Amino acid sequence: MEELNALFGGFAVALSAYHVLLMVIGITLGVIIGVLPGLGGANGVAILLPLTFTMSPTSAIILLTSIYWGALFGGAITSILFNIPGEPWSVATTFDGHPMAQKGKADEALVGAFTSSFVGAIFAVCLITFLAPVVAKFALRFGPAEFFAVQFLTFASFIGMGRGSAWKTVASMCLGFALASVGLDNVTGTLRMTFGQDELLNGFKFLVAVIGLFGIGEILSSMEDGLKFNGAAAKLRMDAVIRTWKQLPKMTMTFLRSCIVGCWMGITPGGATPASFMGYGIAKRLSKRGDNFGKGELEGVVAPETAAHAAGTAALLPMLTLGIPGSPTAAVLLGGLLIWGLQPGPLLFVEQKDFVWGLIASMYLGNVVGLIMVLTCVPLFAAILRVPFSIIAPAIVFVCAIGAYTVNNAMFDVWMMLVFGVLGYLFNKLRYPLPPLVLALVLGDQAESSFRQAMLVSQGHVGVFWSNWLCGGIMTLGLVMAFWPAFQALRAKLAGNGAVARPA
Amino acid sequence: MIRRGTFKVTGIAGALALGAGLASPALAQGWEPQKPVTLIIPAGTGGGADQMARFIQGVVQKHNLMKQPLIVINKGGGAGAEGFLEMKASAADPHKIAITLSNLFTTPLGTGSPFNWKDMKPVSMLALDQFVLWTNSEKPYKTTKDYIDAVKAGEDRQFKMGGTGSKQEDQIVTAAIEQQTGGKKFTYVPYAGGGQVAVQLVGNHVDSTVNNPIEAVAQWRAGQLRPLCIFDAQRSSYTAKVTEKEAWSDIPTCKDSGLPVEYQMLRGIFTTKNATPAQVNFYVDLMKKVMATPDWKEFMEKGAFNQTFMSGPDFEKWLTSAEAQHADLMKKAGFLATQ
């Protein structure tokens, strides 16, 4: 119980009035950063990093991680209210969160999202508290082949999610892969499909695409539907928290599955975005109410949010114990640690006990403070929908444009956002699913890099993906997931034939 | 045309210095930024250049070294081409400076992006980043010779070298080592960042790396990695113990270990092409002030940087020879975009 003693020591450090004040400031800033699309947690932390050089390392990391928690919470708000994911990991939250808002249940969706974020984070912090050394060792087993296996599993768990034609899903995913391949090819170090245009050097940034496809596309659709938000007329009731919490115990298994998926993806390090997609995909597949996913099911909000927040928190573990960041924000925090004179790595837990346990204690406290803050603001957030469309829509377009510009500080991205907006609208009209495109865009080049690294290592033998139990197990699971819909369809057909045959 | 213009300004400044004696220093110190200065990082967040740029920003702010704020922006698209092309396009704006890494030379050579370091005005060299040959400490290679002999004795491409990016510094060093291994090549596996490379070596997914000191120091201290040699002409000057037994200065040079390869990476500051001598001098002075702080010295020691400061003609001479060295190494390795 050495860990518990150390943890209580940490609480003593983190619970000073000054540190709690820093948490409140950090979470407020983080929620704002999370709400503004484009200005992601990584940017927010990077901008504020130099301000913290004069603070003690423990105070600085408490401020910066609080911004991180705030951004994780805040990303859900615009996803639910306006179908605009403020952060990449809240894309999956829009699938059911926005339909809930359209049905007038925005407050329930928000409470569900915040609560599940909290549960995911606390689960991951507990993992960090007690299992850090073991887990860190496990992460070392991940080479290129293992990474590809995990990414393959993400794609596989996502197949069959669209209700429309399977061919449309494939078409959408292929367009995503094509967009992901523009820019620098990391494996050969050459430029691809830039056609000599300097603007395309950066490739298509995920955030620009998402802001356009979801945000601008949604505004265009709303304009067609009569210049108002569906669900705006819903009554504001103050009991949203209790109403929602009553529904949550039924979803224990979803919580648990998403927590495990999230921690796994955060540690390996796959990151919060794939975790949220995988969490959603698995819940849809395994939940009793899976067929209703996409129409406004609370469980469809809980699953990705829990996984995203668990992954976001667990991503700090490889950063602290191995010195590899599990997410872009963790990468910036890692730079901060070096500047404060701390060397992340295997010895940090031994040499900087006060700092590490202060940080871990602040993870618990930061999330509690964050949850209380965002829950009290739910009616306020939900009330935004009551602002007339003619006022809020231009404001959204304006904020989206700023967000797209911020990603690379380039005007080109604002035009790209508008083009993606039209594309998003057309996708909706033609009933092509957007999620496969987004997933391919965010994971496509990572998966490609891992696959090609693995091929380099094995000198071109595909057998490398079954060269050990870890990698082989994940790949096999991925294949099962990928072909499960086909298998089920086949079984249903056979069963159907049997049923027909018996009466005859 | 532009070049002749710059020459003329220098000429006038020189004439003034000759004619008025004391007027020259007054002229040189006469410029100060009129609006916030943007520091462009031609790389992503979290890497070595990013850390140094943000550190400089923090030091400038903490010690109040400039009246106008310093804003740091990442423009890492196309292996840094995005940032360099922006510097090239803003030739007339002296409120932009850039921090460079080896992609200053490797990106135009390797991808054919249309820029050259001569499209910017050199301010000063801040330091040189070292490269060290690392292996996993569980492996039996105690010295550089053990390892290189094993590579020579093994199958072609049997040994895997992990590194950051493709056709960039890590792969160039690898190509230079391959010239000393009797025709045996490494399988070079490119990863996204230096931290990840070090961890892949700890997990035995690759056989060796040429990580910068700061990227692998944590794993060295934990006894997971073993440094074999440093790719510099002399041993490191840092004698303080990093692990229980060893200091950076205890790592032999590769040349002395029978692997005659030298490579270091520039960490330097550039401003835009049309900057006047007074404007360049302002930034040289600013960097000198940054480097005089105790924070900077501590930062240098952590990363075992080679602390060489250069500005003016010395720096330009260094840049010219470094460019030629990169072109030569990349040509031998077949990394040129035109090849």
Question: Does the beta-carbon distance from B111 to A189 stay under 8 Å?
Answer: yes
B3 by Cβ neighbours in 10 Å (0-12 / 13-18 / 19+) ranks as: exposed
A343-373 burial: b if 16+ Cβ within 10 Å, else e: bbbbbbbeebeebbbbbbbbbbbbbebbbeb
Q: State mean pLDDT over A465-490.
A: 85
Residues A295 and A301 sit within 8 Å (Cβ to Cβ): no
Asked if the interface predicted TM-score (ipTM) of this complex is over 0.90, the answer is no
B24 or A101, higher pLDDT: A101
- B205: which chain A residues are within 8 Å (Cβ-Cβ)? 143-144, 457
Nearest to B111 among A191, A203, A324 (CB): A191
For A126, left (φ over 0), alpha (ψ -120 to 50), or beta? alpha
Asked if residue B314 has pLDDT above 90, the reply is yes
Residues 37-56 of B with CB under 8 A from A: 45-46, 50-51, 54-55
Q: What phi and psi, each to the nearest 5 degrees, are found at residue B70? A: -110, 120
Highest mean pLDDT among A390-404, A419-433, B11-25, B59-73: A419-433
Nearest residue on chain A to B45, alpha-carbon basis: A332
* Lowest-confidence pick of A317-326, A472-481, B197-206: A317-326
Question: Does the beta-carbon distance from B205 to A194 stay under 8 Å?
Answer: no
Q: What does pLDDT average to over chain A?
A: 83
Nearest residue on chain A to B86, alpha-carbon basis: A198
pLDDT at B25: 43
Write out pLDDT tens, residues A351-379. 787 788 888 888 888 899 999 998 888 88
In A66-137 the beta strands, taken as DSSP E runs, fall at none
* Lowest-confidence pick of A18-22, A107-111, B16-20: B16-20
pTM of the model: 0.84
Write out pLDDT tens, residues A424-456. 999 988 988 888 888 888 888 888 989 999 999
- B61: which chain A residues are within 8 Å (Cβ-Cβ)? 50-51, 53
pLDDT at B18: 42
Question: Does the beta-carbon distance from A341 to B46 stay under 8 Å?
Answer: no
Domain boundaries, chain B: 2-13+33-129+265-333, 132-250
B118 or B4, higher pLDDT: B118
The percent of residues in chain A predicted with pLDDT above 70, rounded, is 92
The percent of residues in chain A predicted with pLDDT above 90, rounded, is 15
pLDDT at B163: 92
Residues 218-237 of B with CB under 8 A from A: 218-219, 221-222, 224
pLDDT at A325: 67
**Nearest residue to A424 via CA among A274, A210, A277, A173:** A210
Class of domain B132-250: alpha beta
Question: Does the beta-carbon distance from A334 to B195 stay under 8 Å?
Answer: yes
Find the helix or strand (DSSP H, E) in which A319 lies.
helix A316-322
Question: Does the beta-carbon distance from B195 to A325 stay under 8 Å?
Answer: yes
Class of domain B2-13+33-129+265-333: alpha beta
User: Quick one: CA dihedral B217, A134, A359, A27, positive or negative?
Assistant: positive
Nearest to B45 among A190, A332, A344 (CB): A332
- Strand pairing class (B265-272; B120-129): antiparallel
Minimal CA separation from A202 to chain B, in Å:
4
Same fold yes or no, B2-13+33-129+265-333 and B132-250: yes
